[in-house]
């Protein structure tokens, strides 16, 4: 039930997010406005991420937090569809971000608490694969909704975006009853298999203590780079398509190809871990995605080549995220797993705030390709900081 609700919520979220870029353009915004709006998705969640993580450590059920996430993910697209200004688009984007944070923390905490460590890579792989499935279906639906015309009047583009955002909200509403069935309660047998904390409220580990654990720091950096890059691709690929004459439906297909490749790598994760180390796979994830992404803007005008490159980028981007979750979970005491995973998400959100803003500022003089080159540099820098052994 958790995976099913994740699929529906992520379809809604990833249907809405590319539409935000088109709506910003239709309202007269530029690449800087797209970057700021993308950053607003992460800005408010930064303030509550650790609080939510500690709450998840204290609660015996993740149902309430998961349901709150689904409700906010349903409200966000409806607010976006009625937003008449760039400011309100940014506010609605922040609502989407809070909903995504609630749902993600609840799901990750449930897995960290109840799944045995020996099966945690596979469990996180399935959970993140559900997210990738949403990233596959959502942009495809967004592209179909926006049509095949590359240059249409702003009023028509705005009307199409608003209609598709209402559809995104309706899909998220469908996830609410599924989420209600995904109640995860603490059981003695689960504690025995996963080493989870007892039902009594645990003593909170200070943030400095968690950051003092080398594995937590290095995995936060890797996760930040990978997730922020995914966000930048979603936000700036529509702009690159506008520049090169690729219609919204083509951008939707390309984003879906990237997501399909991420699903593949996440489902193959147990097989790859039987041959290579976690550290080696994360390094490959960062370097492989970084190098391929640097090439993409130069060859984006050829849709077939762009599809191949985005498939490679997607495979590498999908590979690292579930491994970072496992390594952070294993590196901290059982009663701090929720807080540690929330700290990882906090790092992700900080990256999602700073990097899209930087990408938007860089894209103003250098074009949308500049945003992708910046992401490439961040990925490669994160791989250099990675220790040789985990």
Count up the domains in the chain and report the number.
Answer: 1
Of 42-46, 266-270, 314-318, which gets the smallest average pLDDT?
42-46
Q: Which residues pair with 61 in a beta bridge?
A: 185
- 302 pLDDT exceeds 70? yes
- 194 pLDDT exceeds 60? no
**Structure tokens belonging to residue 242:** 């506008």
The reply to whether 91 falls in a domain is yes
- 192 pLDDT exceeds 50? no
The reply to whether 202 falls in a domain is no
pLDDT at site 109: 79
**Structure tokens belonging to residue 213:** 């654990």
pLDDT at site 190: 44
Q: For residues 276 and 259, what is the distance between their CA atoms, to the nearest angstrom?
A: 23
The reply to whether 390 falls in a domain is no
Stronger pLDDT, 200 or 143, i.e. the higher one = 143
Of 129-133, 230-234, 373-377, 384-388, which gets the smallest average pLDDT?
384-388
C-beta neighbour count of 87 within 10 angstroms: 11
CATH code of residue 93 = 1.20.1250.20
At residue 201 the predicted structure's pLDDT band, cuts being 50, 70 and 90, is very low
The reply to whether 272 falls in a domain is yes
pTM over the 0.75 mark: no
Q: For residues 258 and 79, what is the distance between their CA atoms, to the nearest angstrom?
A: 28
- 295 pLDDT exceeds 80? yes
Stronger pLDDT, 308 or 362, i.e. the higher one = 308
Q: For residues 303 and 325, what is the distance between their CA atoms, to the nearest angstrom?
A: 34
Q: For residues 75 and 194, what is the distance between their CA atoms, to the nearest angstrom?
A: 35
Q: For 117-142, what is the mean pLDDT?
A: 81
Q: Greatest CA separation found in the chain?
A: 61
- 289 pLDDT exceeds 90? yes
Q: Which residues in 52-72 are b (16+ Cβ under 10 Å) and which e?
A: bbbbbbebeebbebbbbbbbb
At residue 152 the predicted structure's pLDDT band, cuts being 50, 70 and 90, is low
Q: For 341-363, what is the mean pLDDT?
A: 75
The reply to whether 314 falls in a domain is yes
Q: For 98-119, what is the mean pLDDT?
A: 82
**pLDDT, tens only, 27-70:** 888 878 887 887 788 777 777 777 777 776 666 667 778 888 88
The reply to whether 191 falls in a domain is no
* Average pLDDT score over the chain: 80
Is the separation of the CB atoms in 30 and 348 below 8 Å?
no
Select the highest-mean-pLDDT range: 30-39, 96-105, 172-181.
Answer: 96-105
Q: For 366-376, what is the mean pLDDT?
A: 84
The reply to whether 34 falls in a domain is yes
Range of the domain at 251: 2-181+208-384
Stronger pLDDT, 118 or 278, i.e. the higher one = 278
The reply to whether 321 falls in a domain is yes
């Amino acid at each position: 039930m958790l995976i099913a609700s994740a699929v529906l919520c992520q379809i809604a979220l990833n249907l809405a997010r590319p539409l935000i870029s088109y709506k910003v353009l239709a309202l007269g915004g530029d690449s800087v406005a797209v970057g700021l709006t993308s950053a607003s998705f992460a800005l408010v969640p930064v303030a509550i991420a650790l609080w939510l993580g500690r709450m998840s450590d204290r609660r015996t059920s993740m149902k309430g937090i998961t349901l709150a996430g689904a409700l906010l993910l349903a409200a966000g697209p409806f607010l976006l569809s009625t937003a008449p200004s760039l400011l309100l688009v940014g506010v609605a984007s922040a609502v989407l971000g809070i909903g995504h944070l609630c749902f993600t923390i609840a799901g990750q905490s449930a897995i960290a608490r109840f799944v045995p460590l020996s099966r945690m890579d596979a469990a996180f792989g399935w959970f993140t694969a559900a997210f990738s499935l949403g990233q596959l279906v959502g942009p495809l639906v967004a592209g179909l909704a926006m049509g095949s015309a590359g240059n249409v009047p702003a009023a028509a583009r705005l009307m199409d975006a608003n209609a598709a955002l209402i559809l995104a909200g309706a899909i998220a509403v469908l996830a609410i009853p599924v989420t209600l069935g995904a109640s995860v309660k603490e059981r003695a047998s689960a504690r025995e298999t996963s080493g989870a904390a007892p039902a009594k409220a645990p003593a909170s580990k200070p943030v400095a203590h968690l950051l003092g654990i080398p594995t937590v720091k290095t995995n936060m950096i890797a996760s930040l780079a990978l997730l922020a890059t995914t966000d930048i691709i979603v936000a700036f690929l529509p702009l690159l398509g506008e520049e090169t004459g690729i219609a919204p439906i083509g951008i939707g297909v390309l984003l879906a190809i990237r997501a399909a490749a991420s699903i593949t790598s996440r489902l193959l994760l147990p097989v790859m871990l039987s041959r290579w180390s976690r550290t080696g796979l994360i390094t490959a994830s960062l370097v492989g995605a970084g190098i391929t992404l640097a090439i993409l803007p130069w060859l984006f005008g050829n849709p077939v080549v762009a599809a191949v490159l985005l498939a490679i980028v997607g495979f590498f981007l999908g590979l690292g995220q579930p491994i970072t979750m496992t390594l952070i979970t294993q590196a901290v005491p059982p009663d701090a797993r929720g807080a540690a995973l929330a700290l990882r998400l906090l790092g992700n959100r900080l990256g999602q705030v700073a990097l899209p803003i930087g990408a938007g500022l860089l894209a103003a003089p250098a074009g949308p390709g500049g945003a992708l080159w910046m992401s490439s540099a961040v990925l490669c820098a994160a791989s250099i900081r990675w220790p040789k052994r985990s």
